[in-house]
Structure 1
């Protein structure tokens, strides 16, 4: 049963679907957007009713060329409203790829990205905002949680 009161005015918030990918050395894959200072985890918003892990995988592929199956969640990060709407970021585990895995970043005029590269964990504070570095560090330290869809593991 759908109660129209629940759908009348949905909350205004942004939901980020991010992916943490490492290479065999333990470096973290980051993208460099032209619209903000510092590098960030690949990812973006989900479309309406899009499964969140599939949205994260879609953005990862679009931004880096990587096609990865995401089955686990590493962190949930809430950020209160500041210059942006409040947001909830889900950090999915992209696992580990070979050190020489090629990245395919689309041209800046199509992607708003200046590039993508693997960054050593100790260098995160130098290339990311403090909140990004903290999010990544926490995600790296956590064990994975399964992604569920109506109580069942999402495929």
Structure 2
């Protein structure tokens, strides 16, 4: 039985869907958005009712030209509300790619200044502290499968 009170005013929480991609040397792919300081993992917000693995794959393809089927999560990061709404960030395992496969769209379409593979040890120098901590945690974790209604994504 559905309780209409549960659907009357659902909680508001943004879902960030990020991807950790490495090159054969183990460097991490980061994008350089024009709307913030520092580099970040590629990805973005899910649309309403969009499965997170599909949102992450959509953003990865749109910003880097890399097509991936994403099914495993490396890290989950909850960020409390500050100047934005609270958000839950999922970091997906994007595997390894060759650097010649990157296709960065023009800044006026993507909002990106570029993309770079960065050695793991340099992440704290080029990312905001919370972003670098999220990436570092994802690098050390073993991937777990994403489930949608109890089935693997």
Q: Distance in 1 between matches of 2:131 and 2:15?
A: 15
Following TM superposition, the consecutive aligned residue runs of length 4 or more in structure 1 with deviations greater than 2 angstroms are: 1-4
Q: CA deviation at 1:109?
A: 0.9
Structure 1, residues 53-92: CA drift from partner, whole Å, max 9, x if none? 0110000000100001111000000111122211110000
Q: CA deviation at 1:95?
A: 0.7
Residue 40 (structure 1) aligned with residue 24 (structure 2): no
Please name the residue that 1:14 is paired with: 14
Q: Distance in 1 between matches of 2:84 and 2:121?
A: 28
Structure 1, residues 91-117: CA drift from partner, whole Å, max 9, x if none? 00001112x332111111111111111
Query: Which range is displaced more, 43-52 or 32-41?
Result: 43-52
Query: Which range is displaced more, 9-18 or 127-136?
Result: 9-18
- Give the TM-score taking structure 2 as reference length: 0.95
Q: CA deviation at 1:33?
A: 0.5
Please name the residue that 1:49 is paired with: 49
Q: Distance in 2 between matches of 1:4 and 1:140?
A: 42
The number of equivalent residue pairs is 153
Please name the residue that 2:89 is paired with: 89
Query: Which range is displaced more, 134-143 or 2-11?
Result: 2-11
Give the RMSD, CA atoms, in angstroms. 1.1
Please name the residue that 2:118 is paired with: 119
Q: CA deviation at 1:13?
A: 1.9
Q: CA deviation at 1:143?
A: 0.4
Please name the residue that 2:29 is paired with: 29
Q: Which runs of 5+ in 1 are unaligned?
A: none
Please name the residue that 1:152 is paired with: 151
Query: Which range is displaced more, 101-110 or 62-71?
Result: 101-110
- Give the TM-score taking structure 1 as reference length: 0.94
Please name the residue that 1:108 is paired with: 107
